[in-house]
């Protein structure tokens, strides 16, 4: 695997956070990374967190990384935005290093938030 910082996706992610009023997410503590060369066939993106035990040991606050794999680049902008929303939904309101599971992060909820994002994009 090869990794690189994805500043363009970071900017898009911060815009989505702002337009969806995801006030619990600190955009400066979520990094967007492109991962190249993954063998996975189905995964588009994944969210990683610095676990609480590591935060304590390193004396740092929570930090998240959203990794975008090769398949992400071949998607439409709409699909990409929904993927970014999906990954952001995994970050809990506590922003403490945990994850929200797929009982909450599901297609129905992603679509609702995507519609809200579009509505807020038109309004601004």
DSSP string, 97-116: S----TTTSSHHHHHHHHHH
Total domain count, the chain = 1
Report the CATH number at residue 35. 3.30.2010.10
- pLDDT tens, position by position, 8-40: 999 999 999 999 999 999 999 999 999 998 888
- pLDDT tens, position by position, 47-88: 999 999 999 999 999 999 999 999 999 999 999 999 999 999
User: HSE on the CB side for 36, CA within 13 Å?
Assistant: 6
What domain range includes position 44?
A: 2-123
């Amino acid at each position: 695997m090869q990794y690189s910082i994805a500043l363009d996706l970071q900017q898009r992610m911060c815009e989505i956070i702002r337009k969806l009023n995801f006030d619990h997410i600190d955009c400066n503590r979520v990094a967007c990374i492109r991962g190249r060369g993954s063998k996975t066939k189905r995964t588009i993106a994944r969210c990683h967190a610095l676990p609480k035990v590591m935060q304590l040991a390193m004396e740092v606050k929570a930090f998240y990384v959203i990794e975008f794999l090769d398949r992400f680049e071949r998607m439409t902008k709409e699909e990409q935005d929904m993927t970014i929303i999906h990954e952001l939904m995994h970050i809990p309101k506590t922003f403490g290093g945990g994850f929200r599971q797929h009982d909450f992060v599901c297609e129905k909820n992603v679509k609702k938030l995507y519609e809200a994002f579009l509505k807020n994009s038109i309004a601004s």
